[in-house]
Amino acid sequence: MKKIFSGVQPSGDLHLGNYLGAIKNWVSMQSEFDTTFCIVDLHAITVAQEPVELQRRILDVAKAYLALGIDPKKSTIFVQSDVRAHTELCWILNCVAARMGDMEKMTQFKDKSAKGDVERASVGLFDYPVLMAADILLYDTDVVPVGEDQVQHVELARTLARRFNKKFGDTFVIPQPKLTKEGKRIMGLDDPTKKMSKSASSEYNYITLMDTPDVVQKKIRKAVTDSGSEIVYSDEKPALQNLINIYSLFSGDSTENIEKKYIGKGYGDFKNALADVVVNFLVPFQERVKLMSDEDIKKILNKGAMKANEQAEQKIRDVKDRIGLVI
């Protein structure tokens, strides 16, 4: 059975981009594949985090996974820092496989550090893609379902795996990224040229999974639209295209059908309907989250960590042996 691995950082409320670009895809893969989903807390600390808030967010992301349909009976769910092999493999890959030349090409680091001061960016932020490669390679992952912004990082994992295998013999499976067609890049509601992101400067950029119906309606009403008034799905209308994609992914309606439904109607009608579709998804989701207790979640995460540890320990032992660290 093919192995699937992916993760989300507990660095803020999840937003529609996280769900439509990644987690929605994970849910549908669970019955067919051997699936592991991680809460990548060590990635979150590459930028400053408030300790108490971080603890809370780790549990919140776990709750969101479950309430979105990740089933602990089918998938392994765990917290990255509970499995030490991730940091261990990261260090080994840093030394024997990753090169400065690879790392300097990483666009996410350039973007993230450009916003702040490069001089003050943590070394961890620079090394983040190698830790992500370790996450993926430890579990013999075949497929990594992510949004488009992570493809370059999965490519790096492929490069590191190939380089290691060439030097030390066949050790790692070469993973492949997997994107969804319409969800791979959900754009900001306030600017269709930038991806929806929790680090955006305006809260009108994103809709979080915990936004109340009022807030969702307000954000969608304020979302930028293109010139004209017809509801058409085209590259020339990127703002509307983004909204139609969101509508389509939540309702299951094809983009053509949505166009047909709104012939003769304007942006106002469409936006009201879009808000309804999103709210109809979010309200029951939020109710499921509220019913979950921290204690139950911790039990699930402990069980997940035990299982992940077993697999990761085997791999790291093999890696250490191959590079001469086992005497």
Query: Catalytic residues, which ones?
Result: 112, 195, 198
Give the strands of the sheet with 75-79, arranged side by side.
Answer: 75-79, 34-39, 3-8, 143-145, 176-178
Q: CB atoms < 10 A from the CB of 27, how many?
A: 18
Q: Which does 135 bind (CB under 5 to 8 A by kind): ligand AMP, ligand TRP, none?
A: ligand TRP
Q: Which does 192 bind (CB under 5 to 8 A by kind): ligand AMP, ligand TRP, none?
A: none
Q: Does 21 bind ligand AMP (CB under 6 A)?
A: yes
Q: Between 176 and 272, name the residue whose CB sits nearer to ligand TRP.
A: 176
34, 60, 135, 211: which one binds ligand TRP (CB under 6 A): 135
21 binds, among ligand AMP, ligand TRP, none (CB under 5 to 8 A by kind): ligand AMP
Task: Pick the piece of the chain touching ligand AMP (CB under 6 A) from 193-201, 207-215, 222-230, 252-260.
Answer: 193-201
3-state secondary structure of 97: coil
The verdict on 136 binding ligand TRP (CB under 6 A) reads yes
CA 145 to chain CA mean position, Å: 8
36 binds ligand AMP (CB under 6 A): no
Among 9, 217, 248, 251, binds ligand TRP (CB under 6 A): 9
Q: Which of 163, 169, 170 is nearest to 133 (CA)?
A: 163
- Does position 301 bind ligand AMP by CB under 6 A? no
75 Cβ partners below 8 Å, 6+ apart? 26, 30, 35, 36, 37
The helix/strand/coil state of 10 is coil
Nearer Cβ to ligand TRP (132/179)? 132
Look up tokens 């085997």; give the residue.
314
Which of ligand AMP, ligand TRP, none does residue 5 bind (CB under 5 to 8 Å by kind)?
Answer: ligand TRP
Look at strands 187-188 and 34-39 and give their pairing: unpaired
* CB nearer to ligand AMP: pick between 155 and 313: 155
Count other C-beta atoms under 10 Å from residue 84's C-beta. Answer: 13
Angle at CA 5, nearest 5°, toward 135 and 288? 115
CA distance 291 to 288: 5
Among 8, 66, 133, 209, interactor with ligand AMP by CB under 6 A: 8
**Residue 178 binds which one of ligand TRP, ligand AMP, none, with CB within 5 to 8 A depending on kind?**
none
Taking CA 214 as the corner, what is the angle to CA 188 and CA 246, rounded to the nearest 5 degrees?
A: 35
- Contact footprint for ligand AMP (CB under 6 A): 8-9, 17-18, 21-22, 146-147, 149-150, 183-186, 195-197
- Contact footprint for ligand TRP (CB under 6 A): 5-7, 9, 40, 43, 132, 135-136, 144, 146, 150, 153
